[in-house]
């Protein structure tokens, strides 16, 4: 169900991009081509450079096995269990408990953990978190999220281009002008909301896959509860563009939650994630 929802949301975003291109740049043919070229260009950038950009933006540094033998041991065992290549391991020097994975494929994967998460979690809880991160890699969530983010960026770019340089001839008619106005205002907002919905859906899927890897859903639930309390209390200096990669929103301490913030969040509520893992442990889907 999570995968079907993701496919549907991505298809809707792509259709929205083409429609905006057609509305703003006069005629279905030209607008379609412009939207398609921009989408493909952004997707290629996301595909090849997402890992490097994410690691640089989060100020992650590579660490050796001598520095963190426990992390290496857990990741190596999980990688062997899931038949994945050993990912690169990085450290983020932050007291906030958090972690993320990035990379366009298992061969290009990297896992980053904060100093705070290593101090907070037990060995079993850390294993649950790292299984969650490897699940993201296994499910190609990094690529999916990057594509969604870049389509949203392309829509915003199209809207700004139309604002500064003008759109097509269809804007001269009243209906065309209304369509252009909706494209300028509504489409970028809709794209952002859909991208965030995709991010939340992929977190649910990674929770489920990670729990299946370890066979202990409640251990991951315990880790998520501790991490959520930490991220709400300890701020972290991180680029907002990379927030969706982390196991919990690293900007939670700055933004709070509830109400509209849930709709604008990169992550689902921790309570709902724990509830789903509890139901999974009880054999209820």
What residues are annotated to the active site? 133
The secondary structure element, H or E, covering residue 12 is helix 2-24
Crossing angle of helices 174-214 and 270-281, rounded to 10°: 40
Are 93 and 222 a contacting pair, CB within 8 Å? Answer: no
Q: Which residue has the tokens 């391991």?
A: 89
CA-based radius of gyration for the chain: 20
- Say if residues 128 and 219 touch (Cβ distance below 8 Å): yes
- Strand, helix or coil for residue 193: helix
Neighbouring-strand partners of residue 246:
100
Distance of alpha carbon 218 from alpha carbon 78, whole angstroms: 18
Q: What are phi and psi of 85, to 5 degrees?
A: -65, 155
As given in the structure block, the two tokens for residue 182 are 């909706």
Neighbouring residues of 29: CB distance < 8 A, sequence distance ≥ 6:
none
**Cβ atoms 82, 134 nearer than 8 A:** yes
């Amino acid at each position: 169900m999570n995968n079907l929802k993701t496919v549907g949301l991505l298809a809707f975003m792509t259709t929205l991009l083409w429609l905006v291109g057609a509305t703003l740049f006069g005629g279905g043919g030209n607008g379609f081509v412009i939207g398609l070229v921009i989408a493909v260009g952004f997707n290629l950038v996301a595909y090849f450079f997402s890992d490097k950009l994410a690691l640089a933006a989060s100020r992650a540094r590579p660490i050796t096995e001598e520095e963190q033998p426990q992390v290496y041991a857990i990741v190596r065992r999980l990688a062997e269990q899931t038949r994945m290549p050993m990912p690169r391991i990085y450290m983020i020097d932050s007291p906030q408990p958090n972690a993320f994975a990035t990379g366009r494929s298992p061969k290009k994967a990297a896992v980053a953990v904060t100093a705070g998460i290593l101090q907070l979690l037990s060995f079993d809880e850390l294993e649950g978190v790292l299984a969650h991160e490897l699940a993201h890699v296994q499910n190609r969530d990094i690529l999916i999220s990057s594509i969604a983010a870049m389509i949203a960026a392309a829509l915003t770019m199209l809207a700004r281009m139309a604002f500064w340089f003008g759109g097509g001839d269809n804007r001269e008619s009243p209906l065309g002008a209304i369509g252009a106005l909706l494209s300028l205002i509504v489409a970028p907002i809709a794209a952002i909301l859909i991208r965030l919905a995709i991010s939340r859906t992929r977190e649910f899927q990674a929770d489920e896959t990670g729990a299946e890897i370890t066979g202990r859903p409640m251990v991951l639930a315990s880790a998520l509860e501790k991490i959520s309390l930490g991220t709400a209390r300890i701020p972290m200096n991180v680029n907002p563009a990379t927030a969706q990669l982390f196991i919990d929103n690293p900007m939670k301490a700055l933004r709070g939650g509830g109400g509209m913030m849930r709709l604008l969040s990169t992550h689902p509520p921790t309570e709902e994630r724990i509830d789903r893992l509890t139901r999974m442990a009880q054999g209820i889907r």
